[in-house]
């Protein structure tokens, strides 16, 4: 069986380093030392990401919520985001009382379409959340242009995209960066955790106060949520971070093998020009996805369908009044995308086997 992602195999490579780090944390003698340990991990991630500051929190969803609050987003503001993403992106917006403004995606890259943002900005729109979906950086040139014109904040959902680049710049530096380090991601802890990046000292200081909740009298209490990462989780991520670029290279090589060996009629998610996709998922687009997924399963290959329901058609967001047909690319893509295994623990041979099965399924 080729699993979608074999956690044991992926973690095995780091197991000694992780165990050593956990032991080091267990032996720390004070909460001050735990805080320092986390601070060191934050500095390492900031350095990796070429960002001035990083703050580690308990999940990617929290990272987004904190970033929205720190940006001053409040009740009845509108925040633009793609209709094709994980529900957490939208939940972060509605959880702070703002209104999610869904926007359609581009058919080739599956990322938010800046042209469609442009025609949907209203005087209530205060921010855009570009989601670097499946690890693929958005068209940041187009997004920055609209954001500048309408004075909108940018909060990047880089949950899938640690290490991804657009125009030689790492994602998470185009606005406030929000990363998930959940087990399923490229930089993965065990269970939930996340990171926020910023290059703005003032924002960094606000966010630090919001997440640490010490007795700081100078910040409105309603803005504070104790949600720092715990030191054990930080120690797992700290063990893996020095190898993140190797993980990305392995995944990009696996993607190249897919592109080379898949039959030409199979479409796949394309990269934006001048960008570096980090392939949290390798996504193919096919009319016959259910049939293909079943066939692959019978042949020992586990696949994933990530986003079956476009967010504007979920029951939870009915109150926004969207209807079928509003975001046609997203609706079509949600019926056709299938994620193939691309873990860094897979070999070129595994990928070739999967491609050979896709070819025989079509014969």
Ligand X SMILES: Cc1ncc(COP(=O)(O)O)c(C=O)c1O
List residues binding ligand X (CB under 6 A). Answer: 59-61, 85-86, 88-89, 131, 157, 159-160, 180, 182, 192, 194
Please identify, using beta-carbon distances, which residue of 161 and 340 lies nearer to ligand X. 161
Contact predicate 194/63, CB 8 Å: yes
Pick from 198, 167, 228, 247: nearest CA to 49 = 198
The DSSP-derived string for 235-261 is HHHHHHGGGHHHHHHHHHHHHHHHHHH
Please identify, using beta-carbon distances, which residue of 253 and 304 lies nearer to ligand X. 304
Q: How far is the CB of 68 from ligand X (least distance, A)?
A: 12
Contact predicate 84/121, CB 8 Å: no
Strands of 153-157's sheet, edge to edge? 53-57, 194-198, 176-180, 153-157, 125-128, 78-82, 99-103
Distance CA(49)–CA(44), nearest Å, equals 9
3-class secondary structure for 152-202?
CEEEEECCCCCCCEECCEECCCCCEEEEECCCCCCCCCCCCCEEEEECCHH
Q: For residue 21, how far is the Cα from the chain centroid?
A: 26
Strands of 165-166's sheet, edge to edge? 169-170, 165-166, 275-276
Please identify, using beta-carbon distances, which residue of 92 and 231 lies nearer to ligand X. 92
Q: How far is the CB of 202 from ligand X (least distance, A)?
A: 25
Please identify, using beta-carbon distances, which residue of 173 and 257 lies nearer to ligand X. 173
Q: How far is the CB of 59 from ligand X (least distance, A)?
A: 3
Please identify, using beta-carbon distances, which residue of 86 and 344 lies nearer to ligand X. 86
Please identify, using beta-carbon distances, which residue of 192 and 361 lies nearer to ligand X. 192
Position with the least CB separation from ligand X: 60
Q: How far is the CB of 352 from ligand X (least distance, A)?
A: 28
Q: How far is the CB of 166 from ligand X (least distance, A)?
A: 17
Q: How far is the CB of 195 from ligand X (least distance, A)?
A: 10
Q: How far is the CB of 193 from ligand X (least distance, A)?
A: 7
Distance CA(343)–CA(323), nearest Å, equals 36
Please identify, using beta-carbon distances, which residue of 87 and 219 lies nearer to ligand X. 87
Q: What's the start-to-end Cα distance of the chain, in Å?
A: 22
Q: How far is the CB of 359 from ligand X (least distance, A)?
A: 30
Please identify, using beta-carbon distances, which residue of 137 and 357 lies nearer to ligand X. 137
Distance CA(227)–CA(64), nearest Å, equals 12
């Amino acid at each position: 069986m080729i699993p979608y992602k074999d956690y044991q195999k992926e973690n095995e490579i780091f197991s000694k380093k992780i165990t050593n780090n956990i032991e080091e944390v267990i032996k720390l003698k004070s909460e001050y030392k735990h805080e320092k340990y986390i601070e060191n991990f934050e500095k390492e991630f900031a350095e990796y990401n070429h960002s001035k500051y990083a703050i580690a929190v308990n999940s990617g969803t929290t990272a987004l919520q904190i970033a929205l609050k720190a940006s001053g987003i409040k009740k009845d503001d509108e925040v633009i985001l793609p209709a094709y993403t994980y529900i957490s992106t939208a939940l972060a917006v509605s959880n702070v009382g703002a209104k999610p403004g869904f926007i359609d995606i581009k058919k080739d890259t599956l990322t938010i379409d800046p042209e469609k943002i442009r025609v949907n900005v209203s005087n209530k729109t205060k921010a855009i959340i570009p989601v670097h979906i499946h690890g693929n950086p958005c068209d940041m040139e187009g997004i920055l242009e609209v954001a500048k014109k309408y004075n909108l904040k940018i909060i990047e959902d880089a949950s899938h995209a640690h290490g991804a680049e657009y125009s030689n710049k790492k994602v998470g530096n185009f606005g406030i960066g929000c990363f998930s380090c959940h087990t399923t991601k490229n930089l993965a802890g065990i269970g939930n955790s996340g990171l926020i990046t910023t290059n703005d000292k003032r924002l960094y200081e606000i966010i630090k106060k919001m997440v640490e909740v010490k007795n700081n009298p100078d910040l409105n209490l309603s803005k504070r949520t104790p949600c720092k990462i715990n030191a054990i989780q930080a120690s797992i991520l700290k063990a893996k971070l020095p190898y993140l670029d190797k993980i990305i290279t392995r995944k990009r090589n696996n993607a190249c093998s897919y592109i080379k060996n898949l039959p030409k009629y199979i479409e796949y998610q394309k990269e934006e020009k001048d960008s570096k996709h980090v392939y949290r998922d390798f996504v193919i687009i096919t009319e016959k996805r259910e049939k293909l997924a079943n066939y692959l399963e019978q042949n020992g290959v586990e696949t994933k369908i990530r986003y079956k329901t476009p967010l504007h058609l979920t029951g939870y967001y009915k109150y926004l009044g969207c209807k079928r047909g509003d975001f046609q690319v997203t609706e079509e893509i949600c019926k056709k995308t299938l994620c193939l295994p691309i873990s860094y623990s897979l070999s070129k041979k595994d990928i070739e086997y999967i491609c050979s099965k896709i070819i025989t399924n079509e014969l």
